[in-house]
Structure 1
Amino acid sequence: MELSTKQGTSLLHNKTYMRVYSAFATASFGDWFDALAIQVLVGYRWQAGPLMLALIPVALALPSILFGSVAGVAADRLNKLKLMRVCDLLTALLTVLVLFAPSMFWLLPLLALRSALSMLNMPAQQSLTRSLVREDQLLQASSLNGLVNQGSKIAGPLLGGLALAFLTPQWCILINALLRGCSYLLLLSVKNIRTDEDNSKQPEAPEDKIPLHTMWREGWSFMLRSRILLSTMLFGLAGALVIQVVDFQFTSLFRVFAPERESLLGWMVAATGVGAVLIILLLNKLNPETGYSWRLGSGYVLIGGSIAALGSLQPGASIVWVLLIGFVLGIGNGVFMVTFNYCLQKETPPHMTGRIFGIQNTVLSTVLIIAPLLGGLLVQYAGPARIFINTGLLLLLLGLAGLLFGRLLWPEAKLKLEGAQPVAAVDQG
C-alpha cells in the first residue's frame, strides 16, 4: 500500500516494475539485432526464395498454435518471475546454437524451439505487469512496454545495420544471446515481489488445484462472453491475416528495388520505430478512454496505406521515401498495438490476464501458418510489388470498416466512454 499511495501516476517510482521493464527492454533490443541479422543472412547471403522466407514465420508460430493457450494458463499458475528467468536463460542458450546453423533445415527447428520459450515469456510478462501496476496505470504500462518494443526498432536495426557493414550476421546473433543473458541477470536482481493484488487475493490458492484444462476452458469462456474482447480479438485476427501475407516478404521486395543496399531494410525498420515511439509518447498523454474503434481502425488505415506505398516504389527509389513511408507505418503500428494490448489488459480481471494473452498468442499465431505460405506463393508468381499494393489496400479497407462500424463492434466501450467522461476529467485535474 505504501507504493500504491506514493507512486502517484508515475511508474518510475515502482522499482520492481522498472527492473522487470528493464529486463524486457534488454531482451527486446537484442531481438531486433537478431531479427534483422536472420533476414539478411537468409535473404541476402543464402539467397532464399519467397517460399523459404515464408517458412520462418511458420516455424515461429507453430509452438504458439500448439501450446499458446496452455502457456497462458501456466503464466497464471506458475511463479511468473521464475518462469521469465528460465525463458531468458534457455533463449540465450538456443541463440548461441543458432550461430552454428549451416542451412535453413537447421535454422528452422532452432527458431521454433526459441519461439516456444518466447510464447511462455510473453503472457508471463503481461500478467506480471498487470499485477505490479494499478488499474489507472495500465495504459501507461502498456505504452511503456510498447515504447520499448518499438524503440528497440530504432537502435536495434541502426546498430545492427552498422554492425553488418563490418561484421557478419552471426555477430548480431551473438549480441542477442549476450543481451538475453543480461536480461536474465536483471530478473535475478528482483526479489520477493509483493503486490496489492497478492495481499488482497490471498485466498487464490485454490486455483492451484484447478485442472489445467478447466482453467484453459474458463479463459475461452470468459473471452467469448465479453463483446469487447471478442470484437478486439477478431479485428486483430483479421488484420494479422492480411499483414502476415507480406510481413516476411520485405526482403523479397527490397531485393527488387534495392538489390545492392542490404542496410536499407534496417533504415526502414528504424524509421518505423521512430514513428511508433513518437505516437506512443503522445498516446500516453491522451485520455485512455478514447474509443477503441477510432484507434484500432486508424492504425490499420495507416499500416495498410504504408504497405501499399512501399509496393509502389520503383528500383533506385530515394531513401527519403523509404524513411517517410516507414515513419507512417510506425505510427499506425504504435497506435494499433498499444490500444490492442491496453484493451486486453483493461477488460480482463488480473487472475485471467495470462490466459487471455495466451489465447491471443494462439489465435494470432494461427494465421502465421496459412498467411505467410500464401504470401510466399503469391510473391513467387506475381512479384512482391503487386502483392504489397493489393495487401495494403485490403488492410486499409479493413481499417475503414473498423472506423465506420465501431459502434456495432465495441458498443459497451462506447457506453463506458460516455459515462466515464466527467470522472476522467476530474482525475486529470
Structure 2
Amino acid sequence: MSTSRWAAILPDFAPFRSGREFRLLFYQGTVTYFGSFMAMIALPLQIKHLTDSPLAVGAMGAVELVPLVVFGLYGGALADAVDRRRMILLTEAGLGVLALVLLVNALLPDPLLWPLYVVAAGVSALSGLQRPALDSLMARIVPHDQLTAAAALNGLRYQFGAIAGPALAGVVVAFAGHAAAYSVTVLGFLASVLLCLRLSPAPPVKGAERPSLRGIAEGARYAWSRPVLLGTYAVDLAAMFFAFPNAIYPFLADELDAVWALGLMYAAGAVGSLVLGMTSGWMSRIRRHGLLVVFGAAVWGLAVAGAGASSGIWLVLLCLAVAGAGDMVSGLGRATIWNQTIPEELRGRLAGIEVLSYSVGPQLGQVRAGTMAGWTGTRSAFWGGGLACVASVAVLAALLPKLISYDADTDEDALRRRAAREAEPSGAPV
C-alpha cells in the first residue's frame, strides 16, 4: 500500500506536529488514564473484598453521581474565569493525594471501608472540576482544521487506559494486592503533575466574569439556543440511557454459559473504539460532523441490540466491539462540533454541560438496564434498549434537522469561531 493510502487510514498526527501543548496534554492524559483505570478496578474489588456485598459495591456509583453533577457545572463556570492550566494542575495534584490515601489505607493491617467512599466522592468532584478545563483548552491549543484529528488522538489515549489499566489491575490485585495497584496510580499522577507543570499559562479571556449561577445559566441558555449543540447532547443522552447495558453483562455471560468471557465483554467496546481510532485518518476530511453523531449513535444501538439477540459469546463480543466503534464515531463528531462552534468565553461552561451529557447518561443507563432486565429478562434489556436507542436517535434527528445539515465549512458559528481563532496570535485566548 502506498504512503498516501496509509496516511488516509492511519490516525492524523497533525496536532502533534502543530503544538507542544497538545503533546504535553496527550502524554499527561495517557499516564493519568492508565493510573486512574487501575484504581477504578482496584477500588470496587477492595470494597467487595471487605464486604462481600453487591449493594456495597453499587453504592460507590451513588456517592459519585451528585459530586459529578455539582462540580461539573461549577467547574465549567470556573474554567471560564481562571487560568485553565492552574486549574488542571491543582486538580491533578488533588487526585494524586486521594490516590495516596487509598494506598495508605490499603497498607493498614485492617483497611477501613469508609475512606473508600470518601475518596470515590472526592475523585468524582475533582474530575468534575477538571474535565471542563481540559476539554475547553483543546480548542485554544489545536488549529481549527485539526480538531477532529485531535479528538481521535485523545480517544486513543483514553482507550489505551481503558484496555491496559483494567487488564493490568486485575493481575496486580490478584498477585500483589490492592496496595500495589494504588502505587501505580500514585506514580501515574506524579508523572502527570510533572507534565502539567510544563504547560504554558492559559488565562481567561479579557473581562471574564466570576463563577456564578447566572453565568452557568447563561451557558445553558446558549446551548438551548443552538439546535446543533442541543442535538449532540440529546443524541448522546438517548444512546446511553437506552443502550448502556454494562451492569447486566454478568447476567448475559451466565445465560451464555460463558462466565470466563466476562472480562472480554467489558473490554470489547474499548477494543472496537481503539480499532476505529487507529484507522481514523479519513475522518479529518469529514465536514458533516452532525451525520457522524447520528450515524455513530445508530450503529451503537443496533450493535447492542445484536448482542442481545446473539446466541454465541463470540458473536456477542463482535457486536460489542462494533458498538464501541460506533460510540467512537459519534464521540468524534460531538467533540468536533463543540470545539468548532462554541465561543471561547463560554467554552468552560459548555464543557461543564458536556461532562453531564456523557457522564449522567451511562449512570441512568445502568438503572434502565438493570430494571428492564429484572422485569422482562436480560436478553430483552439488550435488544429492546438497542432498538429504543435507534428509534430515539431517528426521532431526534427528525426534530433537529440542523444537526444533520451541520457543515463545518458553512455553519455560521463554526465560521465565526474559525475567524476568531485565525485573527489572534497563536495561543492567545480568543
Length-normalised TM-score, structure 1: 0.79
1:94 aligned to which of 90, 98, 103: 98
State the match for 1:347 in structure 2: 341
State the match for 2:85 in structure 1: 81
State the match for 1:268 in structure 2: 265
Cα distance, 1:87 vs. partner?
Answer: 1.3
Distance 1:325 1:104, change over 3 A: farther
Point out where structure 2 has 5 or more consecutive residues left out of the alignment: 1-12, 415-430
1:109 aligns with 2:118: yes
Cα distance, 1:170 vs. partner?
Answer: 4.8
State the match for 1:205 in structure 2: 206
Paired residue type of 2:33: S
Q: Is the 8 A contact 1:95 1:177 kept in 2?
A: yes
1:148 aligns with 2:167: no
1:303 aligned to which of 267, 275, 300: 300
Q: Distance in 2 between matches of 1:293 and 1:129?
A: 20
Cα distance, 1:357 vs. partner?
Answer: 0.8
Q: Is the 8 A contact 1:154 1:270 kept in 2?
A: yes
Q: Distance in 2 between matches of 1:387 and 1:163?
A: 33
Distance 1:259 1:166, change over 3 A: farther
State the match for 1:410 in structure 2: 403
Q: Is the 8 A contact 2:236 2:297 kept in 1?
A: no
Q: Distance in 1 between matches of 2:248 and 2:272?
A: 21
State the match for 1:137 in structure 2: 146
Distance 1:135 1:290, change over 3 A: closer
1:58 aligns with 2:78: no
Paired residue type of 1:333: D
Q: Distance in 2 between matches of 1:251 and 1:234?
A: 29
**Count of aligned positions:** 396
Length-normalised TM-score, structure 2: 0.79
Question: What secondary structure sits across from 1:388 in the alignment?
Answer: helix
1:360 aligns with 2:357: no
State the match for 1:4 in structure 2: none
Distance 1:213 1:89, change over 3 A: same
1:185 aligns with 2:194: yes
Distance 1:211 1:41, change over 3 A: closer
Q: Any idea what the Cα deviations from partners look like across 1:13-34, whole Å, max 9, x if unmatched?
A: 4122211221111111222223
Question: What secondary structure sits across from 2:88 in the alignment?
Answer: helix
Q: Is the 8 A contact 1:64 1:116 kept in 2?
A: yes
State the match for 2:8 in structure 1: none
Distance 1:79 1:274, change over 3 A: same
Q: Is the 8 A contact 1:53 1:376 kept in 2?
A: no
Q: Is the 8 A contact 1:153 1:269 kept in 2?
A: no
Q: Distance in 2 between matches of 1:179 and 1:397?
A: 42
State the match for 1:17 in structure 2: 22
1:36 aligns with 2:33: no
1:277 aligned to which of 271, 274, 277: 274
Q: Is the 8 A contact 2:149 2:283 kept in 1?
A: no
Q: Distance in 2 between matches of 1:52 and 1:396?
A: 34
Alignment RMSD (CA, Å): 3.4
Distance 1:377 1:418, change over 3 A: closer
Paired residue type of 1:127: S
Point out where structure 1 has 5 or more consecutive residues left out of the alignment: 1-7, 421-429
Q: Distance in 2 between matches of 1:173 and 1:256?
A: 34
Paired residue type of 1:20: L
Identity of aligned residues (%): 22
Q: Is the 8 A contact 1:57 1:368 kept in 2?
A: no
Distance 1:269 1:371, change over 3 A: closer
Cα distance, 1:417 vs. partner?
Answer: 5.8
State the match for 1:424 in structure 2: none
Distance 1:109 1:388, change over 3 A: farther
Question: What secondary structure sits across from 2:16 in the alignment?
Answer: coil
